[in-house]
Chains A and B, each alone.
Chain A
Amino acid sequence: MTHILIVEDEEKITDFLAMTLRREGYTVAIANDLAKARAMLKAMSPRKGEAFDVVLLDMGLPDGDGLTLIPAIRARPGLLGPMILVLSARGEELEKIRALDAGADDYLCKPFAIGEFLARLRALLRRRDASTGGPAHGILHVGDLEIDRDHHRAMKRGSDLALTPIEYAMLVLLAERVGTVLTHKQFLDSIWGKAAHDQTHYVRFYIKRLREKIEDNPSAPTYIITETGIGYRLVSSP
């Protein structure tokens, strides 16, 4: 059973989310303000195997900023915490980055279509399962791409893409979290180290190269999607 907590004050939104999620076979809890959300999170006892798997978090709540809830969700020691999907309006990039930096796993812009929402949710759950699955080994498949982590190489439709080490590292980062966003900071931290944290153009430079190698039409990419102002996301081809 997958437990999902919806933290959102707009009833119309909780209605259709809960409806959809229940039909998809998830169990749903709804909190329409921060206080209730806190109480619900506290009431869960991870030791007994009770825990939310995903928290859908709205940013603007009647009693405060949804952002403040993220540390409370993450700070639970021991077992793996719930995945956090932030729901926020367009044009609030700074808020999204703050949420992602604080520990949120992905975000979704309002308004969104339910198909997109479910795809994100599944991607998050997949990632959660993958991260519990131990070290990063084996072959990852994303659309026509095939990433061989044992031999450090990537192929598309059977032919080697001849990626440089950095390109490969970036592709692996993206592929391991396929479907969810990676911020510039996350790329910089894991590839160039903290010293390069403000050189966001490094990321863009290599994404451009990576696209030239993996995309059919680099000007209209289908694998690596730009999340303007935030980072990139790898999607399995539609």
Chain B
Amino acid sequence: MAEQEDGRPDPDALLAQVQKEEAKARKGRLKIFFGAAPGVGKTYAMLLAAQQERAKGVDVLMGVVETHGRDETSALTEGLSLLPRRAIPYKGVVLEEFDVDAALARRPALLLVDELAHSNAPGSRHKKRWQDVEELLDAGLSVYTTLNVQHLESVNEAVQRITGVQVRETVPDRILQEADAIALVDISDEDLLQRLKEGKVYLGDRGQRAMGHFFRKSNLIALRQLAMRLAADRVDLELQQYRSHNPLDEGHGGGRDRLLVAVGGHPEDEQLIRTTYHLATALRATWLAVHVDTPDGLIKQPQAHAWVWNHLHLAESLGAETVRLTGIHAAREILAYANLRDVTQIIVGQPLGLKKFLWLWPGSPLARVLSSERWVDVLVHPLQRKTARNEDRQTANRQYLGIGISSQQRRQRLWHYVISAGIGIGLSGMAWYLGTARIGMADAFMLYLLGAVGTALVYGRWPSIVTLAAAITSYYAFGLSTGLPNTLGSLLSFAIILSLSLLISQLVARSREQEEMARLRERRVRNLYNLAQSLSTVRAKEDIIQVTRQQLKETLGLSVVFWLPDGEGKAGDQIHPFPPDSQLPEEGDALMAAARWSYRNKKMAGRGTDTLPDVPALFLPLPGPRFPLGLIMIGELDIRHMPMDWQRFLETVARLVAVALESAIQFAKSRDAEVQLQVEQLHNALLGAVSHDLRTPLTSVVGAASTLQHGGGLTDDERDKLIANILSESRKMSRMVGRILDMARLQSATMEIKKEWFPLEDLVAAATQQVEVLLRDHPLTANIAKDFPLLHVDGHLIEELLVNLLENAAKYTPSGAPIEIEGWDGQDGLNIRVIDHGVGVPPGREEEIFRRFSRVKPPTGEGGSGLGLAICDAIAHLHGGKIRVNNRVMSRGAVFTLTLPKEVPPPNPPEEPKA
């Protein structure tokens, strides 16, 4: 609960508590008018309360109110507006049901929904009305409802024991526990019987019949007791919760009991769970439902898995913590776990059947638990054998394993019997052919045994019996019985053979079943494993969906469609099939409605579930942080061919996919954030560079201009110098602005390059023009091979690149040193070189200098913006080429080499005759 072992509040539990309360604040409030039996006046009480609310001005709406024709009750509905019911056509009849959507649309402050345990007509959204009510509460509507004690899940069996009537419509106990208020409507048994007699409960002679069965006085007393106890338990629970929030307020220590119920794979273990639940509630104890998977148990009873799952599910819904352990000795594991968790009481079931007499056998699990040396109470609970639910083992097995029996298989099986019978007759024929002289009776019987075992091996148990029966019948028919000592003796022999072959076939059949089951289970695990593995290799959302679809198709034969929300996870998000061109079955609107419901309510919906079971597809939400990340729609799901715990299996699949999707989303987010960060860093660096590089010349300009403005007493030379400075510094700024624009353009994704065919000479000429001033100090020689082909490039960009290289060359080269440009058609592409006689590149920085804002201090003057070479690099890449630098080997200087891919040049202009 909310405390750790040392008594301090457990932060996780506190958080859970806060979240629970928050969820509760958003939810509507539920008040249950709770009674022991029909006719105690729950509906009446509910209407009375509703009228009081109405008098206070609350907007009350009657969703469903069953007056059962009682006048006093009907009178109370006056003044309350009634929600029209929804007509549901079903097998030629029109059934009327409570209209959830209309109620949600109308949004009253208080909604009356009678008969919480009601089962909805087929075709409704939910199978049960309590599911409707849950949806209403989730949507924030407040509800008044009525409930009889016999409909509560946890007392369902007790009621059956008391009254002998099986109640099929049950409501989970948590509904009662989580209700905001309970009004116990109680009248004395005499009054109720009186009302029954007066026909106020059931009209006509139904009342008389009811009095004979359900409404016996003893029953009523028991039911009232039950109802009162449950109501009291609930108040207790509230007290307990209140105390756990306010530890200081705890006057007397509440029980710190912890119960443990050992759950096996028998259908009867359900009784254990209910008992433990009641015990735990009474003791205000927490409780654990534990199952131990043993290798033995796994093999013996495959269907037990389904039961275990059902049991643990039930326990969970009743508030237990469920645990599944694995071990060789169930008892040892349970005791160890009980010790670990400080369990005060262990509840185990008394073995059934033959084992009942052996349960204190020293080696039995129960005996082990009982003989434990630890201080723990053990309660051995007697179990009632369930006959109603004891299905055919094999069918259950098959169902669990997901093996359907088709008509083709049935035909095939018929053949097996025919063949088996044939073998039996054949064997007798053989014995007859050989004659009694050569083959004795014992030999013949051995022959039959061989045949029976053979058919058992190949076809199974029943065919083997057929073989034997056919053999024995024909044995007499062929007249082989002559010479037998006596009929009794031969009958005994047959009996022995029959039991032997049955035993063998039983063993064989079981081992085959086990083998098959192990194989199927292994396949299931492998499917999940494969899915997990493939999901771990992909990162993009689309890929995850693709992989999942492919895997489910390949391994389970399920073709699925994903539905994805168009937003970031809000109730209002629309969801759409993905891929968008997915083939949907015809009932598009119904599918859309089911998908939307499943998304908003974060629950499964559609075929095979309790919600919208008529929709021809199953929707499986992918659990997300607030709303599902999406839905998996399974169109062609034949539940009959699915394992019994298929929902659980699909949930596992959904969870796997959800985890992958979630991490994909997070990955994308973090990547976006990273890109964003890089862009920001770039911007900051750019801003820094720009502000520095622009401010320096600006300072000169402002200084020079203001000197001129105030400038008396300047010589003409000084004035000219200042003006020249203003001009040159302004040009520098202009050039820098241009370069920043270039860089921005090159970085933007929209940058398009416009390629044309250029002679290299033309580009060099254009570039030299721009750096004319710089080159006055540095004689330029161009050495371009005669056969150098036309370049297919963006003229502007290559010109810019060359200008940058030439500027660099000039900047890092002593005055007067020449600069050379070379161009030649190389192996790996067209090469253009700019060679200088300067200081060269600092060793080790050959690659770094092409990065943005990487600067090398020139020998004289100031460094550049650190953008020039980065621009060159970007331009080279845009052209599918590359640029690199190395220092000259023999002398000082740097060599920048641009390599561009070769392309087939267009034809030259037509030649003309020499003048």
- Residues of A at under 8 Å CB distance from B? 90-91, 93, 111, 113, 162-166, 168, 192, 199-202, 204-208, 211, 217-221, 224-226, 228-229
Contacts and interface: CB of A to CB of B under 8 A. Distances in A.
A220 B780 contact: yes
Contact of B782 (A165, A219, A225, A226): A219
Nearest to A206: B909
A221 B909 contact: no
B915 A228 contact: no
Nearest to A153: B915
Contact of B756 (A91, A201, A220, A225): A201
Nearest to A91: B741
Contacts of B799: 228
Contact of A219 (B727, B734, B741, B764): B764
B757 A200 contact: yes
Nearest to A114: B727
B909 A192 contact: yes
B757 A204 contact: yes
A225 B909 contact: no
B765 A220 contact: yes
Contact of B796 (A113, A220, A228): A228
23 contacts: A164-B912, A192-B909, A199-B909, A200-B757, A201-B758, A204-B757, A204-B758, A204-B762, A205-B908, A206-B909, A208-B761, A211-B761, A218-B761, A219-B764, A219-B765, A219-B780, A219-B821, A220-B768, A220-B769, A220-B775, A221-B768, A226-B765, A226-B769
A200 B759 CA distance: 11
B790 interface: yes
B19 to A, nearest CB: 58
Contacts of B790: 201, 205
A226 B897 CA distance: 24
Interface string B752-795: 00001111011011101100100100001110000000100001
Interface centre among A162, A164, A199, A201 (most CB of B within 10 A): A201
State the 10 A-B residue pairs at the shortest beta-carbon distance, nearest first: A219-B782, A201-B757, A226-B766, A202-B909, A220-B768, A208-B759, A204-B762, A208-B761, A221-B765, A164-B915
Contacts of B913: 164
A208 B775 CA distance: 21
Nearest to B905: A201
B730 interface: yes
Given A164-B915, A201-B790, A208-B762, A229 B769 contact: no
B914 interface: yes
Contacts of A168: 915
A32 B143 CA distance: 74
A200 B795 CA distance: 12
Contacts of A225: 769
B909 A218 contact: no
B625 interface: no
Interface string B691-733: 0000000000000000000000000000000000001001000
B741 A221 contact: no
Contacts of B775: 220
B738 interface: yes
Contacts of A221: 765, 768-769
Given A90-B738, A199-B909, A219-B764, A229 B796 contact: yes
A111 B730 contact: yes
Contacts of A226: 762, 765-766, 769
A118 to B, nearest CB: 15
B797 to A, nearest CB: 10
Interface residues of B, number: 33
Given A162-B915, A208-B762, A226-B766, 9 more contacts: A111-B730, A111-B734, A166-B909, A201-B759, A207-B762, A218-B765, A221-B765, A225-B769, A229-B795
B57 interface: no
A88 B795 CA distance: 20
B909 A228 contact: no
B212 interface: no
Interface in B790-839: 790, 795-796, 799, 821
B766 A205 contact: no
A25 B223 CA distance: 119
Given A205-B908, A218-B765, A219-B781, A93 B796 contact: yes
A201 B906 contact: yes
- B730, B768, B769, B796: which has the most chain A beta carbons within 10 Å? B769
Nearest to A227: B766
A205 B905 CA distance: 12
Contacts of A220: 765, 768-769, 772, 775, 780
A202 B911 CA distance: 11
Contacts of B821: 219
B833 to A, nearest CB: 13
Contact of B738 (A91, A163, A199): A91
B795 A219 contact: no
A77 to B, nearest CB: 37
A228 B761 contact: no
B408 to A, nearest CB: 72
Contacts of A205: 759, 790, 908-909
A232 to B, nearest CB: 9
Contacts of A165: 912, 915
Contacts of A91: 738, 741
Contacts of A208: 759, 761-762
Contacts of A202: 909
Nearest to A160: B915
A201 to B, nearest CB: 4
Contacts of B915: 162-165, 168
A204 B759 contact: yes
A199 B782 CA distance: 26
A228 B734 contact: no
Interface string B107-137: 0000000000000000000000000000000
A220 B810 CA distance: 15
A90 B730 CA distance: 15
Contacts of B741: 91
A203 B738 CA distance: 28
Nearest to B737: A90
Nearest to B772: A220
A220 B806 CA distance: 12
Contacts of A90: 738
Contacts of A204: 757-759, 762
A98 to B, nearest CB: 15
B906 to A, nearest CB: 6
Contacts of B727: 113
Contact of A211 (B756, B765, B796, B906): B765
B619 to A, nearest CB: 55
A181 B851 CA distance: 37
A88 B338 CA distance: 87
Contacts of B766: 226, 228
A165 B782 CA distance: 27
A228 B800 CA distance: 10
A211 B796 CA distance: 20
A43 B761 CA distance: 49
Contacts of B912: 164-166
A164 B780 CA distance: 28
A105 B770 CA distance: 23
A182 to B, nearest CB: 15
B769 to A, nearest CB: 6
Nearest to B738: A90
Interface in B626-665: none
Nearest to B792: A201
Nearest to B799: A228
B694 to A, nearest CB: 14
A229 B758 CA distance: 11
A115 to B, nearest CB: 10
Counting chain B CB atoms within 10 Å of each CB, the highest count among A163, A200, A204 belongs to A204
A206 B799 CA distance: 19
Contacts of B796: 93, 228-229
Nearest to A191: B909
Interface string B210-245: 000000000000000000000000000000000000
